A and B are shown apart, each in its own frame.
Chain A
């Protein structure tokens, strides 16, 4: 069965790269969001199997978006995409309900390993 993914990042560059990595590995990217607010709305609409979530985004940040998504779906599978030096924020995101994280700059193999861990 093909897993569906929602990719959330405020940079088109990062969304394109993550979508390419996942599509080439056989995942179906069903949507993209460029803010935390959009991520929450699109999660409700699309019900993806997996979400990749950036931390620093406009309107609503990634951690707040994780909280909102997990409020309505505690089983949501969310993978945080963090930058170097954001360890404290990653811990906060995991406490908010995220299942795992990858650190930018991405290696496609690391992304796919983390995705497999999150999907169990």
Chain B
């Protein structure tokens, strides 16, 4: 199947979903006790993941998958929606926003070093050692929600 003809559609729809993500994150940050924005966020990220995986954009799909896991943990109350988590969510959505265009320019991109959610436990431990407590909190949350792909 010639995937190139779907690239523009992927880009347009990804941008729409990322815009929804940003709106919902802002809304959620104002009322962190509310659970209603999480469902919409999860759906938007899930849709981006499915489209990216279909296009073969592994880096985008991987980051979206990790973000989806974090949102699932937040939805299930296994992770608290605190300022550190909001910072991580905004950074991840920003990273996702930059990735689709790059993904179209290069058929597959490596997200490992570029995205805030893509750090393995060993890297996280090293960052914790270097950066102190703030990095440790975020790294712990990521490891908690890390699931096999």
Query: A-side interface residues toward B, CB under 8 Å?
Result: 10-14, 16-17, 21, 56-58, 83-85, 104-106, 108
How far, in whole Å, are A57 and B44 apart by their CA atoms in the complex?
10
Any chain A CB within 8 A of the CB of B1?
A: yes
Q: Supply 10 A–B pairs (Cβ within 8 Å), ascending by A.
A: A12-B13, A13-B13, A16-B6, A17-B6, A83-B53, A104-B50, A105-B54, A105-B55, A105-B56, A106-B54
CB closest residue in chain B, given A109: B1
Q: Which of A11, A16, A21 is the most central at the interface, judged by chain B CB atoms within 10 Å of its CB? A: A11
Query: B-side interface residues toward A, CB under 8 Å?
Result: 1, 6, 9-10, 13, 40, 42-43, 46-47, 49-51, 53-56, 65, 147, 149
**Are B9 and A83 in contact (CB-based, < 8 A)?**
no
Classify the secondary structure of B's interface with A.
helix
How far, in whole Å, are A99 and B92 apart by their CA atoms in the complex?
37
**Are A84 and B13 in contact (CB-based, < 8 A)?**
no
Please give, as numbers and ranges, the residues of chain A lying within 8 Å of B51 by CB-CB distance: 11, 13-14
Q: Which of A14, A21, A58, A105 is the most central at the interface, judged by chain B CB atoms within 10 Å of its CB? A: A105
Please give, as numbers and ranges, the residues of chain B lying within 8 Å of A17 by CB-CB distance: 6, 54
Please give, as numbers and ranges, the residues of chain A lying within 8 Å of B40 by CB-CB distance: 58
CB-CB under 8 A for A85 and B147, given A13-B51, A21-B1, A104-B50: yes
Please give, as numbers and ranges, the residues of chain B lying within 8 Å of A58 by CB-CB distance: 40, 43
Please give, as numbers and ranges, the residues of chain B lying within 8 Å of A57 by CB-CB distance: 43
How far, in whole Å, are A12 and B11 apart by their CA atoms in the complex?
12
**Are A104 and B6 in contact (CB-based, < 8 A)?**
no
CB closest residue in chain A, given B11: A13
Q: Which of A10, A13, A83, A84 is the most central at the interface, judged by chain B CB atoms within 10 Å of its CB? A: A13
CB closest residue in chain A, given B46: A56
**Are B43 and A105 in contact (CB-based, < 8 A)?**
no
How far, in whole Å, are A79 and B46 apart by their CA atoms in the complex?
19
Please give, as numbers and ranges, the residues of chain B lying within 8 Å of A21 by CB-CB distance: 1
